[in-house]
Copies of this chain bind each other. A is one copy, B any other.
Amino acid sequence: MEESSFIFADNPDDTKTAILKATFDALAEHGYSNLTIDRISQYFPKSGGLVFYHYDKKDEVLLDLLDHLLKRFVEIGMPISENKSPEDRLRALFVQLLPQSDEQQVEKYEIVLAELRMQAAQKSEFRESLTNSQNILCEQVLDIIYDGIDSGDFRDVNPEAVADFLVALITGEIFERVTTGGSLPIQSELDNYIKYRLLKNNSCSCQKEK
């Protein structure tokens, strides 16, 4: 059960977290449409009956799981030191949100997040949670862009447009990883986007020579 320690402790103490962990493992394995409360119980190390005691319907436990994961997704971006340059903070945010890892736990996390996000296409409760967390992620990016403009590191870009662009890129990369053969290696081109589009002094050879 070590696989999901990126998101959950190996053996969560409280019952609710243990149920969410079982749901996470079951969803990664079977996908949304094959998931049942009964199946979740099979991944639950304690008495399976406890899952039924806490939840009647799979969407209830999945909504709690979505909230748990989105909090985690947002927290991932939090600990980036404000002492670093805006450029380094932006790079660090991307590395943290898109870990280049073959670890099964990261792969499972991305599958589960995409499966749950997909529910938002049909169901307003999922859509609401998701929209909130995307807004928080957008704010994190915005913060860095504003700081970069203020410090004179970045050009005078439209911060909202840049943040939306970067959030769409993160979303796309995760969805690609989950649904196609390989992940698209966007990291190097992202570096170039930062260099040529955002940074004030790195984009022109003529300016460099000054």
Contact = CB atoms under 8 A, between A and B. Distances in A.
A168 B176 contact: yes
Given A168-B169, A184-B167, A179 B130 contact: yes
27 contacts: A30-B122, A31-B119, A31-B121, A31-B122, A32-B33, A33-B33, A114-B121, A115-B118, A118-B178, A121-B178, A127-B179, A131-B181, A134-B176, A157-B192, A161-B186, A161-B188, A164-B184, A164-B186, A167-B176, A168-B169, A168-B172, A168-B173, A171-B171, A171-B172, A193-B193, A193-B197, A206-B207
Contacts of A97: none
Interface string A183-196: 01110111011001
Interface in A38-96: none
A116 to B, nearest CB: 9
A162 interface: yes
Nearest to A196: B197
Interface of A: 30-33, 111, 114-115, 117-122, 127, 130-131, 134, 157-158, 161-162, 164-165, 167-173, 175-176, 178-181, 184-186, 188-190, 192-193, 196-197, 203-207
Given A111-B121, A131-B181, A193-B193, A186 B203 contact: no
A165 B187 CA distance: 8
Contacts of A30: 122
A118 B122 contact: no
